[in-house]
Amino acid sequence: MKTRNLLYKSILAVTLLPAFAACEPNMDYINPTAEVEDTYYTTKEHLIYAANGCYNIPQILQFWGRNMPYALNLVSDEAIYTPQAAAGDPDNVAWSGYTTSGNHGMTTEIFQNIYVLQYTANLAIQKLTDGGAAELFGSDVSTYNRCLGEAYFFRAFSRFLATFMFGDEIPDRDYPATGGPSDSYEPAREPGYIYQRMVEDLTKAAELLPGRTELYEGHPENMGRIGKGAAQALLAKVYMGRPILDGSAGAGSAEWQLAKAELEKIINSNDYDLVDCYRDNASNDNENNKESLYEVQFVYSADANVNMSIDRLNFGQNSWRQIGFTISPGAGGWYNVMPSMWLYNEFERNANGEIIDPRAFQGLWIPNGATFFHNGQPRNYENTYNYLADSWLGKFFGTRKYCIDDNSAMPDLMRGPVNDRILRYADVLLMYAECCIETGDEATALVYIDKIRSRANNQVLQNSPSDKGLFYTKGRGTLPTAQELLADKPVVGRVVDDAGSVILPGVEINTARRLLKHEYTCELFLEGWRFFNLMRWHNNTADPDHTNVIDGLVNKYKVQEYQTSLTGPVPFNYEKNRILPIPSRELEVNPNMHGNSAN
């Protein structure tokens, strides 16, 4: 059930003061009838709105409404760009091909919106901690604490995105910027500063936020809000990702014990669990379910005049992910991004070479898989991609995750209604398994990996017509247990071209570490975490595979050419491509800012 009008009616014009890292306005127009900041946040209701505004920023078009799914997935080895992107979408081509420059438009938008999110969180924190603000809530201390916890979480989230995507020598504020010169010319922080602020913010958020059960039971108006588990899960990611988030640290600096402790709190809370149907984590059904810790909320917005998620009157609240990712041009999509051959070959197969992992069919449009309905008419893989020569069939795929199965009810594919699941319980269990491996307890790690694999085998009962007749609707799947898979030692992710030349040799699943990495992919593919994980693993000196774990990125250009015949991408270079360049506009406007290794 969508409750966006209840949850997000807050982000008023008063919250949209200049918030970019360096953006000083040339003039100021004042509406004499508009609310002003000094008098607006003087009631309990309006203070709640200040916290609510944080939820709205990730949803806008230049963030998760369009840009972020492209940015997070295309830099990984799970996705490549298509001929359609090569013909008219140079920003996505650059992300995927590791040729991004400081003038890259969509990167600039992301950089700006990270700071808009930071501004919005800082504004909420300031207003909620001003003298007398707590008294406005009276005896309702729980709502006050929740609002403040939400603001701390989203400030930490902005800091996480900033350091992960741009490095940690960037501006950072703990106050709402006003747009004056002192704000616009904010210098880069010293290495390690933002990491420590993230930890502090998330620790506060976890203390203040209620558990999911307390938050939701009897309170349907809270559906979509984050609980304590979201802060704990992001804090665990921060600890595990310290080598790439903390510029004062280095390879081998991950805080495994601290991360494990946060993850144990989530598991022991009994607030979360795996849903029965894997597909429920990436469709418009059963959103904000018991597996979800944080989702970016989208709705169809059929009555909106404009199909863009922007905070303006008569603009929609929808995602463009499905038109860019989902399906071929013959079925109405832009089809700028498609799953890579490496991802397709990562799924386990039987002796006949047939995929046996139900998650592949529930998240991808691939041969012998689910059926897409175009204007109510069924289209299998072959007649969906029949605009291609037969030689390309088996190389071009579509993304079913976060996309609809039938466009007849939603013919405008730019009005995607499916929430992006940013944090979910399956990821928590996999992170916990990883912490167990890193702290010497592989036996427990395999138990938690098996929880994920067992759910993948569940029979799909509430299946959509797209799944009709597929094996997982007739009974349980046949994915082996973790121990059985380790005994079988299959090779996954191997890519061989039409001439028989090996592009990627694949990985033999013969250790718990390799099994875990494989399971991360099969469970979380195209959800935006693959590149983050690869960078972490490459910086884990305890992992025997840490030097070659990024080989898929280094050789991605070869996969791109094999699948599409498109050339132009370059081999991934860790020192240059692990982060995105600081936008040129920021460097031009802010004399106290400098570029990073990607500039």
Query: Considering only the top CATH level, what class is 4-28+37-249+578-589?
Result: mainly alpha
Local structure of 96: helix, strand or coil: helix
d(Cα 106, Cα 115) in Å, to the nearest integer? 15
Alpha helices in 396-529 (DSSP H): 425-438, 442-456, 482-488, 512-524
Q: To 10 degrees, what angle do helices 228-240 and 425-438 make?
A: 40
* Locus of tokens 């250009």: 557
Contact criterion met (CB below 8 Å) for 534 and 546? no
Q: Which is it for strands 306-309 and 315-316: parallel, antiparallel or unpaired?
A: parallel
pLDDT tens for the chain, residues 1 to 599: 444 443 443 443 334 443 444 443 344 445 656 677 778 999 999 999 999 999 999 999 999 999 999 999 999 999 999 999 999 999 999 999 999 999 999 999 999 999 999 999 999 999 999 989 999 999 999 999 999 999 999 999 999 999 999 999 999 999 998 877 777 789 999 999 999 999 999 999 999 999 999 999 999 999 999 999 999 999 999 999 999 999 999 999 999 999 999 999 999 999 999 999 999 999 998 999 999 999 999 999 988 999 999 878 899 999 999 999 987 776 678 999 999 999 999 999 999 999 999 999 999 999 999 999 988 889 999 988 888 888 899 999 999 999 999 988 888 889 999 999 999 999 999 999 999 999 999 999 999 999 999 999 999 987 689 999 999 999 999 999 999 999 999 999 999 999 999 999 999 999 999 999 999 999 999 999 999 999 999 999 999 999 999 999 999 999 999 999 999 999 999 999 999 999 999 999 999 999 999 99
Any idea what the Cα angle at residue 59 is, between residues 55 and 64, rounded to 5°? 130
The DSSP result for 191-256, as a single string, is: TTHHHHHHHHHHHHHHHHSPPHHHHHTT-GGGTT---HHHHHHHHHHHHHTHHHH-TTS-TT---H
Contact criterion met (CB below 8 Å) for 376 and 112? no
Contact criterion met (CB below 8 Å) for 455 and 274? yes
Contact criterion met (CB below 8 Å) for 477 and 356? yes
Local structure of 579: helix, strand or coil: coil
- What is the reported pTM? 0.94
The CATH 1.25.40.390 domain(s) of the chain lie at 4-28+37-249+578-589
Among 234, 274, 526, 550, CA closest to 402: 526
DSSP state of 187: P
| Helix or strand holding residue 308 (H, E) | strand 306-309
- The confidence score (pLDDT) of residue 18 equals 39
Contact criterion met (CB below 8 Å) for 566 and 85? no
Among 546, 523, 517, CA closest to 452: 523
Q: Which residues contact 328 (CB under 8 A, 6 or more apart)?
A: 335, 384, 385, 387, 396, 398
Q: Which residues contact 571 (CB under 8 A, 6 or more apart)?
A: 98, 554, 555, 556, 557
Contact criterion met (CB below 8 Å) for 272 and 280? no
